[in-house]
Amino acid sequence: MNLILMLAALSGAMAVAAGAFGAHGASGPAVEWLKTGAHYQLVHALAALVALRLEARGPAWLFLAGGAIFAGTLYLMSVGLPRWLGAVTPIGGALLIAGWLWLAWIGVRS
């Protein structure tokens, strides 16, 4: 079993579900939180698959973890959990940036 592949696929599915809920079942600020979370999560699920194909497992893990934290906190706020979770969202963003920088470093080294 390839854990990164499985998690990237589940992440993509979750992003589509969140986007659909944002488009058809949410209102107020939740719509934008779901839209933003879904966008970032879907992009980084695909980035994880590309990184996996390039045998760059470290960046792939950062894309998955960062996407889960970034989007997850937005999703949780969209269903009514406390807005202080928004203070955690940038941790996910920092992991996403680190993944891209690590991938760039791999490109420089090869």
| 88, 51 Cβ separation under 8 angstroms | no
Contacts of 18 (CB under 8 A, 6+ apart): 34, 37, 38, 41, 71, 75
pLDDT in tens, 24-70: 999 999 999 999 999 999 999 999 999 999 999 999 999 999 999 99
Q: What span, in angstroms and rounded, lies between the C-alpha atoms of 9 and 5?
A: 6
Q: Is the pTM of this model over 0.85?
A: yes
Geometric angle at alpha carbon 93, from 65 and 23, rounded to 5°: 85
**Torsion angle in degrees (nearest 10) through CA of 63, 69, 72, 74:** -110
Which residues touch 69 (CB under 8 Å, ≥6 apart)?
A: 88, 89, 91, 92, 95
Quick one: pLDDT band at residue 1, thresholds 50, 70, 90?
confident
